[in-house]
Structure 1
Amino acid sequence: MTARSFPIGRRGFIAGAAAGLVTARSALAAPGIITGDASRPGMPSGVQTADPTGDRCMLWCRSDRPSRMMVEWATNERFAGAVSIDGPLALQDSDFTGRLDLTGLPPGADIFYRVRFQDATDVNVFSEPLTGRFRTPGTERRNLSFCFSGDETGQGWGIDPAFGGLKMYDTMLAFAPDFFIHSGDQIYADQPLPTEVKLADGKLWRNIVTPAKSKVAETLTEFRGNYAYNLTDENKRRFLAEVPLLVQWDDHDVKNNWFPGQIHDDSRYKVKSVSLLSAYARRAMFDYNAFRILGEDPERTYRSVPYGPSLDVFMTDVRSQRGPNTRNRQGEPGSATAFFGPAQLAWLKRGLKESKAVWKVVACSLPISYVNDDYNTYMPKGSFEGWANRDDGAPLGRELELADLLSFIKENRIRNVVWVSADVHFAAAIRHEPSRAGFTGFDPFWEFIAGPMHAGTYGPSTLDLTFGPDVRYLSVPADLAQNRPPTEGLQFFGHAAIDGQTDVMTVRLHDITGKELNRTVIEPEV
């Protein structure tokens, strides 16, 4: 694995900077959440950053009562010359979460930050501080890397302390990535957790279960509770204090295989409008992530994150503007075939064309060619959830939109586009080749799939050959029994590293222990 070098080590800083509270254990790792005594505001969900650019980054934290977020940041671990900021009031309407856009940051610098809360009822009372760090994108080429995965606490596999909690986060932290792309299903709002699951060897998986995880999420409070549940895990809090998060949503963040306007018939729910459920879910996602909300459209989740001369990341959204799940065989584009939707597709084309970065990474929560159809009880019979429609010929249905995008990339000679995704609960490296495809009007490109990071593992579904997928690596056997538990080790993430001198991208797929399973070296095209 490749890790950056820091003056005292990333973990050493997190441990040592919190008001001198250092123990033998915490000197090597970030401490757990420091709440102090009950008279002080608590900080139960840690700190996190997201969506960094050259001179700014979003910062997030949560209190346990009405209080003001107070922030200091500096370019050194001693906080010499620190900039102090009075942040927002964290009130009940946001579940006491606070988000601050740190601006005026030096590019290409290590930023050390410290957060505490000032009690709104007694301004002389403060929480203990929590600390973190991140590196801003720079204007010069340098080695950089990122991790990617998705699918967290799904299929009945919640936080079991005996297993070690969400320990994929601790594994990824050892790689010291510049950021992490969470490719969706950050929560499983539609899947309550049982207290116990019997494993094949007779042992028991024992979940921590909170009220929010004891039923399907139907209210804003319940969706927020799903996010709060995952943040009780110290591995995740430790990771988010050090690694900026680029997050997108997918189906389980609301309800399995949902689409706007859907009226479902799932008997577990009183709320039948998926549009209402998704409105609550979107608000909870914004409340519980250091998400950069765009002023021109406060509900928009797709956005680009420029990361210096070597990399631009395009975070897409295939939930908000999609048409309904249908047979996906329409011969002409229209509202029923929308997946990105017209506005997002135009934005993505424009962004790819205007990008000056060597690499353009498109993060899409759903893979291109693996079929996801009506095996699910809550999907209309004969319908499809993703791009693919099990027809290997010319593009039909949602494939029309993707064919349009790929043709645009080819016609405009846009080089070095790489896709990353999750959703299917296994890892794969796929080369899409027009010579193998039912549609040939595109340049070859790579797609990497990684996940689950903490959920049930599944075997691969059928491949649709319209876009010529050549599976170069698959992490699970074709006959894998379904919903394999995390104890079997079949949990996966990707790590992409860009060489600062050559701009060569090396993408590795790893298991939960950090073991390298596959390596793909991609030379940049000019």
Structure 2
Amino acid sequence: MRLLITLALCAFALFPSIAQSETNVYFTTGFKIGEVTDSSAIILTRLCKSPQPVAVYHKQEDKVFRPPIDFDNNMPISEMEGAVGGAAGQVKINLKSKDTVISTAWEYVSGYRDFTLKRKFTSLRPNTHYDIQIQGRKSEGAPVTEIKGAFSTAPAADQAVPVLFTSSTCQFYWSHDDADRGFKIYDSMLKLNPLFHCQTGDYVYYDKPGPMAYTVELARHKWHAMNSWPALFDFYKRTPAYLQKDDHDLLKDDATSYSSPFGELSYEDGLDIWREQVPIIDKPYRTFRWGKDLQIWNVEVREFRSDNKAPDGKEKTIWGKEQIAWFKETVAASDATFKILVSPTPVVGPDRSKGKYDNHSNTSFETEGKWLRQYLADQNVLVINGDRHWQYVSVDPVTGLREFSQGPVSDFHAQGWNQEDVRPEHKFLRVKGGFLAVKVYREKKEAVIEFIHYDVDGNEVNKEVIKVTV
């Protein structure tokens, strides 16, 4: 009997999701605030069975990405690191400003949408602080669990107010650099109190081990594991996000609608899971105004593109005709002092010359890339890009277009470029992990924008400052 008790306690220590409560539910994977405007926001959360994810117990290889050693892709998902099973039940969301309370009714969640609830709130006030309280329960009369957070809506388009936001890309669960909290950059970013965050894709990696996401349930597990890291949990409950997808959180490397399935996981499955796990409701390309001096554009680079391996020419595209027309129309209509394109993939680069053929800095999309760089430069648009595992500031030698690459979320994930390979385009190059912060503010008769690169610990490693007379 004593041996059985000991074995049971060991199993709970390694796999806490095995021990489930019959009456309690939890918000172990947190929640996200998305698509914030001056009058609206979307909130997404998930009801969970266990208060903690399965802890890390595999040893890891001592090389880039730090994949797990001897990981069994066929083990039960409930035994995998980061596993957090979902729970059927009811969820209620409350928003509160200094003089307003907005509440939803209790709503059921189920396994059909991975026990998630997504709701859009409208008629919010500009530049206003809102406290969030999300409640969960098994059923009426059952114990209630709650989680809290907060956010501020965007200022109106005619308000010249300071704005600070952060941006990051490329995070693999096993590349974590804090054994207890996950990724250092999230705590480093939170110390800056950003008004919002731009995550430019590769939020998870379906096609890297631990596990390989060959099925819908394994793909969902990747989101559960990532979101249950304490650093992400704490960051996103206080920081609205504009999330974009790239190839690895859609299907596999260089994914397009022409891609073959990844195991049993299809391109269409990847789209469905993305829409389920991210606080976005409408089209994947969109634009957001943050006061008089800032407007950002979040573009989509996977859903509308041509086959990567098709010959280059006028018809070959990454963005697609509809998105290009929308982008031109909205940029032309904007009177923001600073315009920023946030792209999941590079526009300027430079990129590696071998084996890369899926972004605008590659020769495979040379025709659209040349047009886009010239158009953006003519419209005084600045670019933030994801998908590169190193930090840089580049200036296109032909058009003068500036591009800022955030770098991956940890030093373990940094690779793909030689630190000594400094090209004429580079104003800054650092093959390490970190993040980007952007500050916009007024200084006497000038509007100022600062692009600041940080390392994973929050130390400033580079700053570019642009000033415009207003």
Sequence identity of aligned pairs in percent?
Answer: 21
Equivalence for 1:384: 357
Answering whether residue 102 of structure 2 is matched by residue 102 of structure 1, we say no
| Distance in 2 separating the partners of 1:183 and 1:514 | 19
Is 2:414 aligned against 1:457? yes
Task: Check whether the contact 2:24–2:144 (CA below 8 A) recurs between aligned residues.
Answer: yes
Please say if 1:495 is aligned against 2:437. yes
Tell me, what secondary structure is at the counterpart of 1:503?
strand
**Equivalent in the alignment of 2:402:** 446
| Deviation per residue, 1:21-41 (Å, 9 max, x gap) | xxxxxxxxxxxxxx9965122
The answer to whether 1:149 aligns with 2:168 is yes
Match of 1:246 in 2: 242
Range that drifts further, 280-289 or 244-253:
280-289
Partner of 1:524: 468
Structure 2: distance between partners of 1:87 and 1:304: 32
* Alignment match, 2:142: 125
**Secondary structure of 1:363's aligned partner:** strand
Tell whether the 8 Å contact from 1:428 to 1:448 is kept in structure 2 after alignment: yes
Amino acid in structure 1 at the alignment position of 2:379: I
User: How far 1:116 moved relative to its partner?
Assistant: 0.5
Contact 2:169–2:408, Cα closer than 8 Å, also in 1: yes
Post-superposition offset of 1:504: 0.5
Partner of 1:224: 220
Tell me by how many angstroms 1:409 deviates: 4.7
Q: Is structure 2 residue 415 aligned with structure 1 residue 472? A: no
Q: What's the CA shift for 1:460?
A: 2.2
Q: Partners in 2 of 1:473 and 1:407 — Cα distance? A: 22
Q: Aligned with 1:98: secondary structure?
A: strand
User: How far apart in 2 are the matches of 1:88 and 1:405?
Assistant: 45
The correspondence for 2:105, drawn from 80, 86, 107, is 86
State the one-letter code of the partner of 2:458: G
Does 1:60 find its partner at 2:44?
yes
Check if 1:44 corresponds to 2:44.
Answer: no
Following TM superposition, by how much is the alpha carbon of 1:182 offset from its aligned partner in structure 2, in angstroms?
0.5
Q: Is it true that 1:256 corresponds to 2:253 in the alignment?
A: yes
3-state secondary structure, aligned to 1:499:
strand
Provide TM-score, normalisation by structure 2: 0.80
1:111 aligns with 2:111: no
Cα deviation, residue 372, structure 1? 4.4
Q: Per-residue displacement from partner, 1:82-136 (whole Å, max 9, x unpaired)?
A: 22222643221111110111112111011111001243xx312243211110110
Q: 1:470 to 1:84 in 2, by over 3 A?
A: same
Partner AA of 2:240 in structure 1: P
Q: So what's the TM-score if we normalise by structure 1?
A: 0.72
Specify which of 171, 174, 178 is matched with residue 188 of structure 2.
Answer: 171
Q: CA deviation at 1:326?
A: 2.4
Residues 203-260 of structure 1: CA deviation (Å, up to 9, x unaligned): xxxxxxxxxxx2x213222211110010120110000000011111111112011222
| Structure-2 residue corresponding to 1:414 | 379
Q: 1:405 aligns with which of 372, 388, 391?
A: 372
Once structures 1 and 2 are overlaid, which stretch shifts more, 106-115 or 446-455? 446-455
Per the alignment, residue 286 of structure 1 pairs with: 275
Compute the RMSD of aligned alpha carbons: 2.7
Letter in 2 for 1:513: D
Q: Tell me the number of residue pairs that the alignment of Structure 1 and Structure 2 aligns.
A: 407
Counterparts of 1:308-323 in structure 2, within 5 Å, are 308-323=291-306
Match of 2:457 in 1: 513
Q: Give the secondary structure class of the aligned counterpart of 1:398.
A: helix
Is the CA contact 1:372–1:386 (under 8 Å) kept in the aligned structure 2? no
Whether the 8 Å CA contact 2:394–2:404 is kept in 1: the answer is yes
Could you list the runs of 4 or more consecutive aligned residues of structure 1 that deviate by over 3 angstroms after TM superposition?
Answer: 35-38, 372-375, 405-410, 461-465
When structure 1 is superposed on structure 2, of 127-136 and 81-90 the one drifting more is 81-90
1:456 Cα deviation (Å)?
1.6
State the alpha-carbon separation in 1 of the partners of residues 376 and 457 from structure 2.
Answer: 37
CA gap of 1:261–1:104, structure 2 versus 1, over 3 A, is same
Residues 409/384 of structure 1: CA separation in 2 closer, same or farther (3 Å cut): closer
Taking the aligned partners of 1:62 and 1:461, their CA distance within structure 2 comes to 41
Separation in 1 of the partners of 2:420 and 2:370? 17
Contact 1:36 1:127 in 2 (8 A): no
Query: Displacement, 1:462?
Result: 12
Q: Could you tell me which of 92, 95, 105 is aligned with 1:73?
A: 95
Could you say what secondary structure the match of 2:231 adopts? helix
Classify the secondary structure of the residue corresponding to 2:284. coil
State how far apart, in whole Å, the 2-side matches of 1:234 and 1:44 are.
9
Alignment of 1:231-380 (within 5 A): 231-253=227-249, 254-263=251-260, 269-271=262-264, 277-291=266-280, 293-294=281-282, 300-326=283-309, 330=312, 332-334=313-315, 337-368=316-347, 369-372=349-352, 374-375=354-355
The answer on whether the counterparts of 2:129 and 2:153 sit within 8 Å (CA) in structure 1 is yes
Structure 1 residue ranges without an equivalent (≥5): 1-34, 194-213, 295-299, 376-382, 391-396, 477-489
Q: Whole-Å Cα distance in 1 between the matches of residues 276 and 202 of structure 2?
A: 16
**Partner AA of 1:289 in structure 2:** V
SS in 1 for 2:447: coil
Task: Summarize the Cα distance change of 1:282–1:327 in structure 2 as closer, same or farther, 3 Å threshold.
Answer: closer
How many Å separate the matches in 2 of 1:92 and 1:263? 27
Contact residue 350 and residue 425 of structure 2 kept, 8 A = no
Cα distance in 2 for partners of 1:63, 1:235 equals 19
Query: What one-letter code is carried by the residue in structure 2 that aligns with 1:333?
Result: K
Q: CA deviation at 1:429?
A: 1.1
1:11-55 alpha-carbon deviations (Å, 9 max, x no partner): xxxxxxxxxxxxxxxxxxxxxxxx996512222211220110011
Which deviations, in whole Å up to 9, do the C-alpha atoms of 1:423-456 show, x marking residues without a partner? 1211111122xxx33xxxx4x3321001201352
Secondary structure of the equivalent of 1:181? strand
Indicate the SS of the match to 1:472.
Answer: strand
